Amino acid sequence: MSIDRKSLTIGFAVIASTWASTAFAASPSVTAVLSDSQPAVGQMVQLEIKVSGAQSASVPDTIPIDGLEVHQTGTSRQFEMHNFDVTSSVTYAYTILPLRAGQFKIPPQTIRVGNTSLKTPELALNVAQGQSGGASASKPGTQSGQASVGSKLAFADLVIAKKEAYVGEMIPAEIRLGFDARARGRLQDGPDLSAQGFTTQKLQQPRENLETIGGRTYQVYTFKTALSAVRPGKFELGPVTAKASIVMPRRPSTSPRTRPRSPLDLFNLDDPFSDPFFSDPFGSMSMGERAEVPIKSESVSLNIKPLPPNAPPNFSGAVGNFTMTSDAKPKTVQVGDPITVTSTITGRGNFDRMSAPALEDERGWHKYPPSSKFKQDDDVGISGEKTFEMVLAPNEKKNAIPPLVFSYFDPVKENYATLRSDAIPITVEGNAPPSQNTAAVPPASATVGITPSPAPKPADILYQMNALGAPKSFTPIYRRAVFWIAQLGPLLLLLAFIGWKIRQRKSGDRERQRILAREQEMSRLLRELRRGDISPQVYFSNAARVVNLKTALARNVNPNSVDPETVATTFDLDEEERVRLQRLLARSDELSYSGGGNGSDKISRDEREEVLNFVESLRV
């Protein structure tokens, strides 16, 4: 088989370049997220710096901050493909160990992606005194976790960042499912988290890594989510349940089973990995069999506190830590014209319970219900920015849009906070409201046109109509059968016109053919007359015929109906020529009717030339 190696190489190059161009076509961007922004001293926090639109980036190994120990712990890369649109990202994980209590700021870090420099946002970390957080259920990394996991083929952990929280506060959570690396665990169902009294964010795609716990290597799948309590009280969160299939050895039939075994003590031994199956990986391929095992974690206790009373009037349930910016477009309008006021709430909290900022003073304004969109900075939607667009229309002359106010509960400071934007200066012209209300268009769209009112607005609606009138159809005329049937009229007229024209042309062709035949006959006869080798009877007969044909062609009449007078008139003959014509015709008749024997057999040269000259001289 001959393979065109050059074509193959070019094909691979095209595919590779297409993939590469799509994978890195988007300009890179960076986000930074903390797993918990309110840890206690000694409680580990994870910082993830995610660079989207790049496969690698240059990041600092450590971040020097007084009071915090920050170290890079790992890198993971993700590729996603949607409809041939490939996106890639790389995530750099850091652990942060708070050494003392206080408020810390993690300054923006410079990330280099090729020739581009990106900066992470500044992050705030409020470290509380004492060991308050870190409620993890049998975390493998802890002493108790080691004990419970060390002899298992699979384990499940529910890691909750807090033991105490407020109603509505977003609580980051991780579900970790681990499988002994040699058991080649495969998740069949779940994980499912029992969380009555909580709303949970949808579980994201798990992060996969290898961890060594108690001297054994586990393949650990980490699912991230966030929880939010809907009512106060003490809750048991969990357990997390899942079903997985793992490879276990077939036991020899001769080996008697002496005691029942638990699903996680598969080999009747304290340590299942002491089974010879695991010491012979190749043998296990033939001897092992897959079995489905349930996995269950411990529950976690959580104390949910109610929000304090005396909430601000415009508090709508936002819990977290936020900042707000606002803007308005356009800034010069007529009375009644729409203005789009955009307010952006950025921070960390329960964005799904967040309502739009309110106008401090709504008098003199008509307010339309706002729309919103959310851009999350992390996997579970705790951090990000929510943008509200609200359309306002001034009912009177104004010189500024009143400040926007937004209230939220800060669970760290344990009090309510109200953000207040500055008044936005605008110019409102005119007095009369316009006739049309059009929604403000986003800045990227076309400009909004306000059509001036063509007539003054009536004070009330006009009178009722007394006559019902003739029914009409909503169907456009071109979709009605009558419209297309009506087209048959001109179509038939056109066909009739074309038929008539074709017929006319055909009859014209017959006339032309007749004329052509006469011309050809005349030419032939003239040639014979010039040759002169014919008898006098034929000669004069031909000459008379040529005269008749010439006359017929000139007058467009039948040559048989031509008489001497017609010839004379047609060619405007004088007396002498008339005599010559008479003589020619008489001679022709004489020879025709008297027979060929009357007279000479041959015509004289002079006579022939005279006749020929006469015939040829006949012109209109």
Partner 1 sequence: MRILPGLSLVLWLSAAALIAQPATQFAKANQEYAAGDFKAAITDYEELVRSAADTPNLFYNLGNAYFRKKDFGHAILNYERALALDPRHPEAQANLRLARDEARALELLPNRWEQGLTFADSNQFAISAGIAFWLGVFGIAFFVFNRRRIALALAILAILISGYSIFALSELEHGKNGGGLAIVTKDNSEARIATADTANRVLVLPAGSEIQIASRRGDWIYATLPNNLRGWLPANSAEPVRM
Q: How far is CA 376 from the centre of its chain?
A: 21
Taking CB under 8 A as the binding criterion, the range among 41-49, 125-133, 461-469, 523-531 that sits at the site for partner 1 is 461-469
Q: Tell me which amino acid residue 254 is.
A: T
In whole angstroms, how close is the CB of 87 to partner 1 at the nearest point? 20
> Between residues 285 and 477, which has the closer beta carbon with respect to partner 1?
477
Does residue 161 belong to the site contacting partner 1 (CB under 8 A)?
no
Write out the binding residues for partner 1, residues 401-420 only, by CB under 8 A: none
Q: Is 249 near partner 1 (CB under 8 A)?
A: no
d(CA 124, CA 313): 28
Judged by CB under 8 A, does residue 466 bind partner 1? yes
Helix (H) or strand (E) holding 317: none
Residue choice 1, 477, 482, 488 for contact with partner 1 (CB under 8 A): 477
The nearest distance, CB 167 to partner 1, in angstroms, is 21
CA-based nearest residue to 203, from 142, 158, 145, 152 = 158
Among 425, 442, 499, 596, binds partner 1 (CB under 8 A): 442
20 contacts: CB under 8 Å, gap ≥ 6: none
**Smaller CB separation from partner 1, 1 or 462:** 462
Pick 285 or 485: Cβ nearer partner 1: 485
Give the residue, chosen from 19, 24, 365, 368, that forms a contact with partner 1 under the rule CB under 8 A.
368
Q: Does 106 bind partner 1 (CB under 8 A)?
A: no
The number of residues that bind partner 1 (CB under 8 A) is 55
CA 251, 253, 256, 259 torsion-angle sign: positive
Regarding 436 and contact with partner 1 (CB under 8 A), the answer is: yes
Taking CB under 8 A as the rule, does residue 486 contact partner 1? yes
437 binds partner 1 per the rule CB under 8 A? yes
Taking the complex as a whole, the smallest distance from the CB of residue 271 to partner 1 amounts, in Å, to 48
Distances (CA, A) of 170 to 105, 214, 326, 349: 21, 33, 25, 6
Q: 347 or 370, CB closer to partner 1?
A: 370
Residue 253 near partner 1 by CB under 8 A: no
Contacting residue, 27, 131, 212, 453, with partner 1 by CB under 8 A: 453
* Chain Cα centroid distance, residue 602: 102
Among 461, 481, 485, 488, interactor with partner 1 by CB under 8 A: 461
C-alpha 564/C-alpha 562 separation (Å) is: 7
Q: Is there a contact between 238 and 206 (Cβ–Cβ < 8 Å)?
A: no
The distance of closest approach from Cβ of residue 392 to partner 1 in the complex, given in angstroms and rounded to an integer, is 11
By C-beta, is 64 or 454 nearer to partner 1? 454
Q: How far is CA 75 from the centre of its chain?
A: 32
**Binding of partner 1 at residue 79 (CB under 8 A)?**
no
Using CB under 8 A, which of the segments 36-44, 322-330, 435-443, 566-574 binds partner 1?
A: 435-443
- The answer to whether residues 222 and 178 touch, using CB atoms and an 8 Å cutoff, is no
| Residue of 3, 285, 467, 481 that binds partner 1 (CB under 8 A) | 467
278-282: long-range contacts, CB 8 A cutoff, minimum separation 24: 278/182, 278/249, 281/182
What H or E segment, with its residue span, contains residue 372?
strand 371-376
Tell the residue number behind the tokens 């280099």, with chain if given: 112
User: Could you say whether residue 363 binds partner 1 (CB under 8 A)?
Assistant: no
Task: CB nearer to partner 1: give 373 or 619.
Answer: 373
Q: Residue 168, interface with partner 1 (CB under 8 A)?
A: no
CB of 438 to partner 1, least distance (A): 5
Using the Cα atoms of residue 156, residue 159, residue 163 and residue 164 in order, give the sign of their dihedral: negative
Using DSSP's 3-state secondary structure scheme, residue 217 falls into strand
With vertex at residue 63, the alpha carbon angle to CA 62 and CA 64, rounded to the nearest 5 degrees, is 110
Task: Give the residue, chosen from 110, 374, 413, 586, that forms a contact with partner 1 under the rule CB under 8 A.
Answer: 374
369 binds partner 1 (CB under 8 A): yes
Q: Which of 238, 403, 384, 423 is nearest to 314 (CA)?
A: 403
Closest CA to 354 of 381, 318, 380: 318
Residues of this chain, 566-585, that bind partner 1 according to CB under 8 A:
none
Binding of partner 1 at residue 51 (CB under 8 A)?
no
Pair 480, 472: CB distance under 8 Å:
no
Identify the DSSP state of 45: E
Query: What region, left, alpha or beta, does residue 53 occupy, with left being phi > 0 and alpha being psi -120 to 50 degrees?
Result: left
Is 452 a binding residue for partner 1 by CB under 8 A? The answer is no
395 is an interface residue for partner 1 by CB under 8 A: no
Among 32-40, 115-123, 166-174, 460-468, the segment contacting partner 1 (CB under 8 A): 460-468
The span of 91-99, 326-334, 480-488, 542-550 binding partner 1 (CB under 8 A) equals: 480-488
Q: Is residue 380 a contact point for partner 1 (CB under 8 A)?
A: no
To the nearest whole angstrom, how small is the minimum distance from the Cβ of residue 313 to partner 1?
22
Q: Which of 73, 120, 117, 110 is nearest to 92 (CA)?
A: 73
Spell out the alpha helix ranges (H) of 94-173: 143-149
Of 44, 181, 405, 448, the one binding partner 1 (CB under 8 A) is 448
CA angle, corner 423, sides to 420 and 425, nearest 5?
160
Residues 496-555 that bind partner 1 (CB under 8 A): 497-498, 501, 505
Alpha-carbon Rg for the chain in angstroms: 52
Positions touching partner 1 (CB under 8 A) are: 366, 368-374, 393, 433, 435-442, 445-446, 448-449, 453, 455, 457-458, 460-478, 483, 486-487, 490, 493-494, 497-498, 501, 505
